Structure 1
Amino acid sequence: MIGLVAAGGASVAVGSVANAEPAGAPLAQQLTAEDGELLFRANCATCHGLNAEGTENGVSLIGVGAASVDFQVMTGRMPMAMQGPQAEQREPQFSQEQSDAMGDYIASLAPGPGIPDEELLDVSQVDDEGVARGAELFRINCAMCHNVAGAGGALTEGKFAPHLKDIDPAHVYEAMLTGPQNMPVFNDANISPDEKREILAYLDYLDNNPSVGGFDLGGLGPVSEGLFIWIFGLGGLVAVTVWLTSKPN
């Protein structure tokens, strides 16, 4: 028994030394486009086809670029939890490294918009005049769906424009580049990279500056404000009137 225990312990010790990682070695190798292809075929091909050519359940991804993959995967919209009017944002199912690998694979199939550089997302370079221009660009191009305060809004057939509060600037930029779901594409010929950065600066301003008018009722505009006044304002007046007229009785 002593001999067996000693032999087993020595075997475990030798195996541990043999399998130990060298000092300073990375824990995992960086994923490549080939790894991205394997991930895609295991998780996305059911709807989008083995070669991303699309099926009746999912659109073709040839030419959408890495920016579209990063937006859809890292906002948790893909893979979809279930078929519906549109994919909803949720916790991402993949790591950033896995998403990048799948983006590299999709980008290798055909040219498409790439993930924006950090310089294009740096709103600290935008001055107050740039923020004002960004607000104007947002009102002209985005507010009809997303609301002037970025609070989102309802569309037709159960679809909606999501809110833009505390959203990763990279995902907003990618959405402008790729036009996901009901959103139109705003390529660099429509809105230049500098103008896109000014729009990001305006959204950052909204995130960091609460409503100066007090309670904003969700920032949904005159409909919610009018409804609030109609129900609580006029309702309160009616209640006071009834209370006053009932006192003499």
Structure 2
Amino acid sequence: MSAALEPATALPSAWEIPADFGGGGAEPYELALRAGGGLLTVVSDGADDDAAPLDVSAYLAPATAAERRVLALTSGPVLDVGCGPARMVRAAIETGRLALGIDISAVAVGHARARGLPVLRRSVFETLPAEGTWGAVLLLDGNIGIGGDPAALLARASELLRPGGRMLVETHADGDRSARFVAQLVHPVGARSGWFPWAEVGERAATRLLDGLGMQTATVRSGGRTFVLATR
């Protein structure tokens, strides 16, 4: 994977026809959500020996103390992009803030709504409520990979913020990581999703992209995770 964020050459159809995260195939992400959690793996370009873990159980649990600390670095209404079952939406609401989650997974959205949480089944690249007025936009849990084009995603997220609003972006553990690829989710029982575009971006690459958008950035570390906090 190159530092220039060049797309992988394998399986070009995943770039030509964007797929939902973990969608298609046997829907392992939705299987894990229905089962109440589980450890999936993210496989890039068919390389099963280069798989990264994805702990769906963490998405179904309450927000951690570390996540609540970084959320507190923002203010105003919160938009959680790729919210999953919406634990961060709940965390924001519990502190008295307005919050909305968006996600493309019908099962994740249904799970959140069943618990009374405000979530829309919608892509960040579609028209959204209150564009340009959000105090905080969250891209956590590797969601900077959404769509496989971090530059486009961060530019879109910045449009959603009000002046002075803050974007909270969780980055890859390797600060120099900068890669775009096609990926697949794999369930322990062997169920596989369709291929979808994805990306992994470390702190330094994310900071460069955000600097290019004219945003002020700072690196925050909490709970062993790294975040870039960007102010519009």
TM over 0.5: no
Question: Which protein has the bigger helix share?
Answer: 1
TM-score w.r.t. the length of structure 1 is: 0.24
**Higher RCO, Cα 8 Å, sep 6+:** 2
Question: Which protein has the bigger strand share?
Answer: 2
TM-score w.r.t. the length of structure 2 is: 0.26
Q: Which structure has the bigger radius of gyration?
A: 1
